[in-house]
Amino acid sequence: MATEAAGSDSESAPDAYTDLLQTYKRVANVRNAGGLLSWDQQVMMPEGGNPARSQQLSTLSSLSHELLTDDEVGEQLDELEDADLTDEQAAVVREIRREYDRAVSVPSELVEEISTTSSEALPAWEEAKAEDDFSTFAPYLEKHVELKREYAEHIDPDKDPYEVLFEDFEPCLPLEQAEEILDELRDTLVPMIEQIREEGDDIATDAFTREGDYPEGDQEELCRDVLSTLGYPWERGRMDTSSHPFSSGTMFDARVTTRFDETDPLGSLFSTVHEFGHATYNLGLPDEHYATPLGEDRNLSVHESQSRLWENHVGRSEAFWNVLLPSFKEHFPKAEDVTLQEAYEAANQVYDDNLVRVEADELTYHLHIIVRFEIERALIAGDIDVEEVPEVWNDKYEEYLGVRPESDSEGCLQDIHWSHGNFGYFPTYSLGSVMAAQLYAAAEDDIDDLEDHIAEGDFEPLHEWLTENVHRHGRRYETNELVVQATGEDFTADAFTDYVTEKYGDLYDIDA
Amino acid sequence: MATEAAGSDSESAPDAYTDLLQTYKRVANVRNAGGLLSWDQQVMMPEGGNPARSQQLSTLSSLSHELLTDDEVGEQLDELEDADLTDEQAAVVREIRREYDRAVSVPSELVEEISTTSSEALPAWEEAKAEDDFSTFAPYLEKHVELKREYAEHIDPDKDPYEVLFEDFEPCLPLEQAEEILDELRDTLVPMIEQIREEGDDIATDAFTREGDYPEGDQEELCRDVLSTLGYPWERGRMDTSSHPFSSGTMFDARVTTRFDETDPLGSLFSTVHEFGHATYNLGLPDEHYATPLGEDRNLSVHESQSRLWENHVGRSEAFWNVLLPSFKEHFPKAEDVTLQEAYEAANQVYDDNLVRVEADELTYHLHIIVRFEIERALIAGDIDVEEVPEVWNDKYEEYLGVRPESDSEGCLQDIHWSHGNFGYFPTYSLGSVMAAQLYAAAEDDIDDLEDHIAEGDFEPLHEWLTENVHRHGRRYETNELVVQATGEDFTADAFTDYVTEKYGDLYDIDA
């Protein structure tokens, strides 16, 4: 059985390595069990199950923490500092060391306090959003900022605290590099969007809205067909619905969820393709390294690069719509008059006045992210106070996106992330999109006629390229190194800016 | 929140008690997480997920074992031996002590070996059954018998090893008492069934088969309606399908599964009502004692008493069919001519020539169990060898049931249990049915016009009686004491023999 071989090179490994890996596997299995419990909570669990489920999750979380921070783990890591290890073994030790160091440096009381604050902040955020009253949520955001500063101080008192927090989500991509990318994004996109609005041609946006509603059951069938077309292996996955689409699991069992809006068939479609991208990453991790760092994903930006690559570079391409549109019309005969060009335009329109991140298009999306990134950096640095957030938020929306929210509900209260105390998470969304562009450009260079393959519904060459260059490495390489291995270049925003300049230049007939 | 109060009397408890309960809650939460993983494996998981799932389950299982057998648990239990405890606290300590003593006495290598043998025995049993060749399975059965004798020796070398194994499933019901019950069952049922066959009236058996097939989707709707009618709280449960119906969960989330056979609408119906009975027990356990012995079920026979009470005493009664038949006809208009008497007779027919336990009726069922009980006792005692099992099985079927299997597939290979090395499990099925009769008789005494309530679709008085007298106690009482508390009498087969004598005497017009 494939999994028997996990830690495949353990025969030639020092005992400390074998023991360390054994412990890590237990940690990973407990975490994966927790992942399944969370999936069930969001997809299957009856609402009454929460009191028991939250205790189960909390027990699993504390157990995996205890296993990871066991004194023996520290001793084994020390012993392996100067040991003679293979590259793979060295990567495993590096990854466990990073997790261990972080886990032991934060007092459990503080972890507990952050967890409690999140539990209290969530309903406060929900209430604030429902009642459009930022002041209900502000004290909890304030508390989170304080606790997270303290948290960062424990981990590394000499580092910019925001950088420490960013590393929770992106442990091996330097913040400086990330920031350069985000700055370039902003400097490219703000004028480009302005130019599209002022000089761009009118494009068709109503291909899928002019015919009325699309029943949920038919949308579901279409999404299942699309997953099959893309090559989703149903024997290792399943699709369900949840209030927020997500993917979860391992290479043996990588599930996706979606949600349906009867007025918007593109919503479920693109969210399904997006989650499919996440799932392919999990599925492409090597079976034989299950429950070890070599069988786990290289953090959020790489994960998001896979979802965005499939969603944007495949799903929003003309080539893909060549395959999709006939299938769409089979499920929805009323769309029979929609042309390929209309479909392509509707799938790629740049919105004039959207205020909501999760409804944004491929260009404006990143400005939503950059607003959040700049605000949370300033908050953690103490450059702005919590009470200033709504005003700063609205000013930045006006500056970058040309629209000003009229309420906090459609402004700074729209996302759940800060209620969890997650600062440093938002940038990974944009970094993933940017990485997707760089990876896709490299795949186009390496694969003969990739666009033709896609237009014929043949996704195998792309799957193979991604598995070979990204998935199969797990956490063997750090983030930039993984990108270099795959593309021959450092991770930058260049490929992304080239991509959007060409694509949207053509689409809106502008010379950006 | 209800669960905050778990270990409600901890304020007045010794520290050792508080600490012990805290550890036990972690054990229970890990077990419950494992329960959810198993549910998912049988109901939701794509087939490819097994390699990861089995590792996750194995990790959770070893973790809960390690938590339970921690030295500190032993010290706390010792310290509490002479402590001043409330009745509830004393019951908690008694239950944890019993689990702890058993867990620490078996070497982990032996536990591992039994687990490995089960993993190997399962495919061997499947192959043996498929190819009708007992010899493929025999070596694994032999190995299980040896290992389980060794296992019992570790736990108590001075006790009948079968008794030790029985206690794995029924830890606080003396085997002697169980055996008396099973002997009385055999002595009552063998002649009764013979008399029915020789002297009984012909009854209508084709009420639900004469009209052809029943589509699965309609059966599922009927089962959901029946669950709603019986009072299943959907906010704390769900119904799905699986290859073998089962129930699982806690008082917050008690799920059931069923399966459908389009030629047999009674199959899914009774299995749904059966699993509903199990679920009501879980649901009736006190919220505030979640993850403690007072919030857990009193083992298998009591659990089975709840499923059999609802399946047989409610589900197969004329009063219930008074409610069910109109609903059945709404879902299946083709059954409009079926009369109440025909439905009742079809639901209670005693089979002439059935060889399969899971398809047996309310009377012959117990003889299937007694055959297994007598054989596994003799195997563990060394009174028969594994190679003799097929012959002894067939002889006993002929003697007790008047039918002789023509192959091992429909004989001693029909059940999965022995492939898991589970000896001592089978009797709990019959003990549960017998207990159901005693509990139901007591409920009839206590509740005015219980039958009328049921005939009107009012199940609330019965729910209340069962919650009050059985469910809410969790593991506070040992098995016989629980029955005494609920019925005023020791646990015997008397109520069951009275019940079947009257019911089947009337039905078949015999004077049993």
pLDDT in tens, chain A (512 residues): 333 344 444 458 999 999 999 999 999 999 999 999 999 999 999 999 999 999 999 999 999 999 999 999 999 999 999 999 999 999 999 999 999 999 999 998 999 899 999 989 999 999 999 999 999 999 999 999 999 999 999 999 999 999 999 999 999 999 999 999 999 999 999 999 999 999 999 998 899 988 899 999 999 999 999 999 999 999 999 999 999 999 999 999 999 999 999 999 999 999 999 999 999 999 999 999 999 999 999 999 999 999 999 999 999 999 999 999 999 999 999 999 999 999 999 999 999 999 999 999 999 999 999 999 999 999 999 999 999 999 999 999 999 999 999 999 999 999 999 999 999 999 999 999 999 999 999 999 999 999 999 999 999 999 999 999 999 999 999 999 999 999 999 999 999 999 999 999 999 999 86
Residues B468 and B379 in one domain: yes
Residues B190 and B45 in one domain: no
Q: What's the pLDDT at B9? A: 47
Q: By the CB < 8 Å criterion, does A234 face chain B? A: yes
B37/A2 Cβ within 8 A: no
A61, A90, A105 — which closes off a domain? A105
A253: nearest CB among B32, B45, B290: B45
Residue B492 covered by a domain? yes
A46: nearest CB among B37, B60, B253: B253
Give the minimum alpha-carbon distance from A139 to chain B in angstroms, rounded to a whole number: 24
Q: By the CB < 8 Å criterion, does A296 face chain B? A: no
Residues A189 and A310 in one domain: yes
How many Å apart are CA A124 and CA B201, to the nearest integer?
A: 70
B46/A234 Cβ within 8 A: yes
A29/B55 Cβ within 8 A: yes
Q: How far is CA A342 from CA B125, B238, B259, in A?
A: 60, 44, 47
DSSP string, A320-348: HHHHHHHHHHHH-GGGTT--HHHHHHHHT
B63/A26 Cβ within 8 A: yes
How many Å apart are CA A177 and CA A401, to the nearest integer?
A: 24
How many Å apart are CA A280 and CA A285, to the nearest integer?
A: 9
B250/A55 Cβ within 8 A: no
Residues A187 and A77 in one domain: no
pLDDT band for B1, please (50, 70, 90 cuts).
very low
Residue B10 has pLDDT above 80, yes or no: no
Q: What number is the average pLDDT over the span B477-495?
A: 98
Residue A126 covered by a domain? no
Contacts of B29 in chain A (CB under 8 A): 55-56, 58-60
Residue B6 has pLDDT above 60, yes or no: no
Give tens-digit pLDDT for B280-316: 999 999 999 999 999 999 999 999 999 999 999 999 9
Q: How far is CA A508 from CA A343, A434, B48, B87, B233, in A?
A: 15, 21, 46, 79, 56
Q: What's the pLDDT at B11? A: 56
Residues A53 and A184 in one domain: no
Catalytic residues of A: 275
Residue B367 has pLDDT above 80, yes or no: yes
Residue B90 covered by a domain? yes
Please indicate if the annotation marks B304 as binding a ligand.
Answer: yes
Q: How many other CB atoms sit within 10 Å of the CB of residue B179?
A: 15
Residues B328 and B417 in one domain: yes
Residue B114 covered by a domain? no
B48: nearest CB among A50, A52, A236: A236
HSE-CB for B349 with a 13 A CA cutoff:
18
Residues B427 and B319 in one domain: yes
Residues B305 and B181 in one domain: yes
Residue B127 covered by a domain? no
Residues A232 and A92 in one domain: no
Give tens-digit pLDDT for B314-342: 999 999 999 999 999 999 999 999 999 99
- Residue A55, both tokens: 């205790």
**By C-alpha distance, which of B424, B413, B360 is closest to B390?**
B413
Please indicate if the annotation marks A120 as binding a ligand.
Answer: no
Please indicate if the annotation marks B417 as binding a ligand.
Answer: no
Q: How many other CB atoms sit within 10 Å of the CB of residue A211?
A: 16
Residue B12 covered by a domain? yes
Pairing of strands B253-258, B239-241: parallel
Residues A317 and A444 in one domain: yes
Pairing of strands A239-241, A253-258: parallel
Give tens-digit pLDDT for A387-408: 999 999 999 999 999 999 999 9
B105, B133, B150 — which closes off a domain? B105
Q: CATH number for the domain including A294?
A: 1.10.1370.30
Residues A324 and A195 in one domain: yes
B30/A63 Cβ within 8 A: yes
Total number of domains in chain A = 2
Cβ atoms of A148 and A381 within 8 Å: the answer is no
Residue A114 covered by a domain? no
Q: What's the pLDDT at B8? A: 47
Give the minimum alpha-carbon distance from B367 to chain A in angstroms, rounded to a whole number: 39
Print the domain residue range for B434. Answer: 175-508
Residue B44 carries which DSSP code?
T
A51: nearest CB among B2, B36, B46: B2
Q: How many other CB atoms sit within 10 Å of the CB of residue A381?
A: 12
Residue B494 has pLDDT above 70, yes or no: yes
A77, A105, A133 — which closes off a domain? A105
Give the minimum alpha-carbon distance from B47 to chain A in angstroms, rounded to a whole number: 6
Residue B363 covered by a domain? yes
- Residue B53, both tokens: 């799932």
- Residue B70, both tokens: 């921690």
Residues B101 and B184 in one domain: no
Cβ atoms of A125 and A416 within 8 Å: the answer is yes
